[in-house]
């Protein structure tokens, strides 16, 4: 038998080879887009949070789900370079805590979504404090304590101002990123045609909403946020033009949740469910509700960790003999409301009795409570424990030394001032500085700036900022006040 090919002429063989080549090319033309498409689809399907080795690290840098719809990491990184005049001191000037070698400040998680890494805020942003013994000391970083040094309003203001400015274009953002890291052609195309147009629209839309949330209200300033009014705009799409309520409140401490079981929480005691508080906090931090983008595993991990996380001990010397003489004063004057064994612990003192600024409590009215209780309807996690109280909650004073400035609106700089009658408390003082004042128990309140950071002069005469009320102990002698103050350091 002869080989068939032996029967072919040289011309036939060339023609056949030609045809084979053509078929391969046609095949490739047909298949390549399919391969490319499935490759792109594979990439688009990626949704992977960056994990952390310990629970403490997870609290600082782990995901709660707000990074599903956050800002791309590299855009976040270069934003201060893109809009230098709007944030001359960079993120550090806002009071965020940057640990050496970490890609983001504390309070931001990262998640790979498709080809792009996204960042979003987490619990650590508002619940991590910085404390220094002196201006030249290393800061102590105290997770689960209120971030008194953070100007969150200035962060949002910068984000939306830069996002809406003429500098925020692909032509400026891409080269700014490439100063730190080369981008592949695929990445450059993604940033130019997908990321930037989306982000420009999102920051413009959210910026308008942010404007309506803050319009006509005093600065949140350092360590505070309007807690529930943003829900009206971001979740319930309400028009704020006729809503003058001020819901501004200090970030709280969130350690030792085991001890808070059964108590009514948030400043006004509007909710007694730990799950609902954590989930509503996550929504406040940017988790989307529909379809829900909660990172359930991450939130569970944080919840378990907060359960037994202990309050930080006072880090400076305590005169224990003096503190012991202060204990009976605490037992007599304070314990009934503030100690977990007290008869009024975890309940609410009405506004007319407590006498502190009413705005935060009034802002969470019955209509708002009803609205909050519609969130998640039909889901196993649906909210139903919100209520309006007309007062402020009686909470534990554990770790009170690091929770300055005091009261729900942060209107009293030190514990020493709080134990005096309201007319003896400072009318104006600076907030945001993290150097501690052990004598008066609170942060130093007379320093207007340090390096690139300007602190806010807190004005207690503005609406929502009043320093009235809570007169317990105001009649004490100076000696008794010193003893009680010393005792409060031990809590």
Q: Which of 78, 96, 118, 281 touches ligand HEC by CB under 6 A? A: 281
Q: How many residues bind ligand HEC (CB under 6 A)?
A: 49
Q: How far is the CB of 52 from ligand HEC (least distance, A)?
A: 14
Q: Which of 130, 177, 120, 182 is nearest to 151 (CA)?
A: 130
Q: Which of 116, 110, 121, 129 is nearest to 155 (CA)?
A: 121
Q: Which residue has the tokens 């009803």?
A: 370
Structure-block tokens of residue 12: 């036939």
Q: Which of 167, 245, 256, 278 touches ligand HEC by CB under 6 A? A: 278
Q: Which of 199, 282, 372, 491 touches ligand HEC by CB under 6 A? A: 282
Q: Give the x-and-dash track for 67-106 against ligand HEC (CB under 6 A).
A: ----------------------------------------
Angstrom distance (rounded) from CA 240 to CA 238: 6
Angstrom distance (rounded) from CA 248 to CA 115: 38
CB-based contact 484:330 (threshold 8 Å): yes
State yes or no: residue 277 binds ligand HEC (CB under 6 A). Answer: yes
CB-based contact 174:192 (threshold 8 Å): yes
Count of beta carbons in the 10 Å neighbourhood of residue 100: 4
State yes or no: residue 142 binds ligand HEC (CB under 6 A). Answer: no
CB-based contact 255:55 (threshold 8 Å): no
Which is it for the CA torsion 372, 157, 223, 303, positive or negative?
positive
Q: How far is the CB of 398 from ligand HEC (least distance, A)?
A: 10
State yes or no: residue 420 binds ligand HEC (CB under 6 A). Answer: no
Q: Which of 87, 142, 173, 252 touches ligand HEC by CB under 6 A? A: 252
Choose the stretch contacting ligand HEC; rule: CB under 6 A; options: 17-25, 71-79, 439-447, 465-473.
Answer: 465-473
Structure-block tokens of residue 363: 């802002």
State yes or no: residue 464 binds ligand HEC (CB under 6 A). Answer: no
Q: Which of 356, 431, 460, 465 touches ligand HEC by CB under 6 A? A: 356
Q: Which of 202, 289, 333, 462 touches ligand HEC by CB under 6 A? A: 333
Q: Which of 111, 157, 309, 338 touches ligand HEC by CB under 6 A? A: 338
State yes or no: residue 232 binds ligand HEC (CB under 6 A). Answer: no
State yes or no: residue 52 binds ligand HEC (CB under 6 A). Answer: no
Choose the stretch contacting ligand HEC; rule: CB under 6 A; options: 46-54, 92-100, 131-139, 274-282.
Answer: 274-282
State yes or no: residue 394 binds ligand HEC (CB under 6 A). Answer: yes
State yes or no: residue 254 binds ligand HEC (CB under 6 A). Answer: yes
Largest CA distance in the chain: 121
Angstrom distance (rounded) from CA 353 to CA 344: 13
Q: How far is the CB of 95 from ligand HEC (least distance, A)?
A: 13
Which is it for the CA torsion 224, 226, 227, 231, positive or negative?
negative
State yes or no: residue 482 binds ligand HEC (CB under 6 A). Answer: no
Structure-block tokens of residue 42: 């594979």
CB-based contact 132:138 (threshold 8 Å): yes
Structure-block tokens of residue 138: 């290393």
Cβ distance to ligand HEC smaller for residue 64 or 162 = 64
Choose the stretch contacting ligand HEC; rule: CB under 6 A; options: 26-34, 75-83, 120-128, 178-186.
Answer: 120-128
Q: How far is the CB of 268 from ligand HEC (least distance, A)?
A: 6
Structure-block tokens of residue 400: 């009170």
CB-based contact 379:427 (threshold 8 Å): no
117 to 49, 195, 451: CA distances (angstroms): 9, 11, 32
| Interacting residues toward ligand HEC by CB under 6 A | 64, 121-123, 125-127, 152, 225, 227, 249, 251-252, 254, 260, 265-267, 277-278, 281-282, 284-285, 302, 333-334, 336-338, 344, 349, 354, 356, 360, 392, 394-395, 397, 400, 403, 406-408, 415, 418, 470, 472-473
């Amino acid at each position: 038998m002869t080989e068939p090919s032996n029967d072919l002429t040289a011309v036939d063989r060339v023609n056949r080879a030609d045809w084979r080549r053509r078929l391969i090319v046609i095949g490739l033309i047909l298949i390549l887009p399919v391969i490319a498409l499935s490759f792109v689809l594979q990439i688009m399907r990626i949704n992977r949070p960056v994990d952390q080795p310990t629970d403490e690290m997870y609290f600082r840098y782990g995901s709660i789900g707000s990074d599903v719809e956050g800002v791309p990491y590299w855009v976040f990184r270069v934003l201060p370079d893109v809009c230098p005049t709007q944030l001359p001191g960079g993120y550090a000037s806002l009071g965020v805590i940057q640990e050496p070698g970490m890609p983001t400040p504390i309070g931001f998680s990262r998640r790979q979504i498709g080809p792009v890494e996204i960042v979003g805020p987490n619990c650590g942003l508002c619940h991590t404090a910085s404390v220094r013994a002196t201006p030249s000391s290393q800061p102590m970083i105290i997770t689960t304590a209120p971030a008194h040094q953070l100007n969150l309003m200035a962060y949002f203001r910068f984000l939306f101002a830069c996002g809406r400015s003429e500098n925020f274009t692909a032509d400026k953002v891409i080269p700014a990123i490439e100063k730190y890291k080369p981008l592949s052609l695929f990445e450059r195309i993604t940033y130019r045609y997908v990321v930037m147009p989306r982000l420009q629209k999102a920051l413009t839309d959210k910026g308008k909403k942010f404007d309506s949330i803050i319009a006509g209200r005093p600065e949140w300033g350092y360590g505070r946020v309007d807690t529930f009014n943003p829900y009206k705009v971001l979740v319930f799409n309400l028009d704020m033009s006729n809503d003058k309520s001020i819901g501004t409140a200090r970030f709280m401490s969130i350690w030792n949740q085991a001890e808070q079981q059964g108590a009514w929480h948030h400043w006004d005691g509007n909710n007694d469910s730990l799950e609902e508080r954590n989930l509503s906090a996550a929504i406040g931090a940017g988790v989307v509700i529909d379809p829900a983008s909660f990172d359930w595993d991450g939130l569970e991990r944080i919840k378990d960790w907060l359960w037994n996380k202990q309050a930080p001990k006072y880090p400076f010397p305590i005169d224990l003999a003096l503190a012991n003489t202060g204990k009976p004063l605490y037992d007599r004057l304070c314990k009934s409301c503030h100690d977990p064994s007290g008869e009024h612990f975890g309940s609410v003192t009405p506004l007319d009795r407590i006498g502190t600024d009413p705005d935060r409590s009034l802002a969470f009215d019955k209509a708002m409570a009803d609205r909050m209780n519609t969130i998640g309807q039909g889901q196993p996690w649906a909210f139903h424990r919100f209520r309006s109280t007309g007062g402020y909650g009686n909470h534990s004073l554990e770790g009170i030394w690091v929770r300055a400035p005091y009261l729900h609106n942060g209107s009293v700089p030190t514990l020493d001032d709080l134990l005096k009658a309201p007319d003896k408390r400072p009318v104006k003082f600076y907030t945001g500085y993290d150097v501690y004042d052990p004598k008066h128990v609170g942060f130093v309140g007379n320093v207007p700036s340090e390096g690139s950071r300007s602190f806010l002069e807190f004005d207690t005469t503005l609406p929502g900022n009043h320093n009235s009320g809570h007169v317990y102990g105001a009649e004490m002698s100076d000696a008794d006040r010193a003893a009680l103050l010393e005792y409060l350091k031990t809590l």
